[in-house]
Amino acid sequence: MAIRKPMVAGNWKMNGSKELVQQLSDAINNVKSDKIDVVIFPPYPLLPMLTAAGVTTGAQTVSENEAGAFTGEVDAQLIKDLGGEYTLVGHSERRNVYGESNDTVAAKFSRAQQVGLTPILCVGESEEQREQGQTELVVAAQIDAVINKLGLAALKDSVIAYEPVWAIGTGKTASPEQAQNVHKFIRDKIADKNSDLAQGLTILYGGSVNEKNSELLFAQPDIDGGLIGGASLKAGLFTAICESAKGTV
């Protein structure tokens, strides 16, 4: 069985400042170790500052297009040139607020890999979909969009983040058992086609993760770390979550 290295990813969303970079970069660097990967997804303008401070960074989204007449968009190649190593694709806010389809997300995933960024594919169901028993159907369709476009092997150089939409920024959190069940579904779905790839795939949980629930979440066998929102903006909370991830190794 492959040994998966835990990851804690902080998504700052449309928050942050030069001052916040200065406040948090030392704390982030101090909590890094060989045991875990720590990645920060700041607003675009702050990415070079964090990278220069020694923090591993990524973009919150990238365009599916190459450079050209796409006002307001940012090409994955520029993120790579500025030192970014990852990008989120398909975050629920991109899907729900900006109307990104599964096909658009798959195209962004493809563009990220073309330039050497590691995409973190975000998947998850709404509260209504969960209540209707559609969680696995929705998550499978979101993953299949990438597999159908790029082939199963594309998942080897990626990360998946399960983020139930009803738990993002709401204070509601999937129980460790609920989260584990979906993570196991994802891993089993991929293992049906390639067990080695599935065992090596990092799958994160996102959705109101905090310093109080992270230890129990990360202790689940198929949860390999977290995609952290609000708590990643506070040094004490974020480093406590990182320490929880270290404790699983």
Ligand-binding annotation for 208, yes or no, is yes
- Which residue ranges make up each domain of the chain? 7-246
Does an H or E element contain 202, and which? strand 202-206
What's the chain's average pLDDT? 95
Tell me whether residue 214 is annotated as binding: no
The C-alpha atoms of residue 7 and residue 236 are separated, in whole angstroms, by 17
Instruction: Strands of 66-130 (E only): list them.
Output: 86-89, 118-123
- Residue 105: the pLDDT is 98
Q: 41: burial class by Cβ within 10 Å (0-12, 13-18, 19+)?
A: buried
Active site residues: 91, 163
149-193 per-position pLDDT tens digit: 999 999 999 999 999 988 877 777 789 999 999 999 999 999 999
CA distances from 169 to 2, 75, 129, 163, 173 (A): 32, 28, 18, 11, 9
11 marked as part of a ligand binding site:
yes
Superfamily of segment(s) 7-246: Aldolase class I (3.20.20.70)
Residue 199 has pLDDT above 50, yes or no: yes
Q: Which pLDDT band, with edges at 50, 70 and 90, does 118 fall under? A: very high
Q: What are the pLDDT digits (tens) for 76-100?
A: 999 999 999 999 999 999 999 999 9
Would you say 13 is a known binding-site residue? yes
Is 247 labeled as ligand-binding?
A: no
Average pLDDT over residues 60-72: 96
Give the sign of the dihedral formed by CA 16, CA 101, CA 78, CA 38. Answer: positive
Backbone angles phi, psi at 68, to 5 degrees: 165, -160
Between residues 3 and 185, the one the model is more confident about:
185
Task: Check pLDDT > 60 for residue 1.
Answer: no
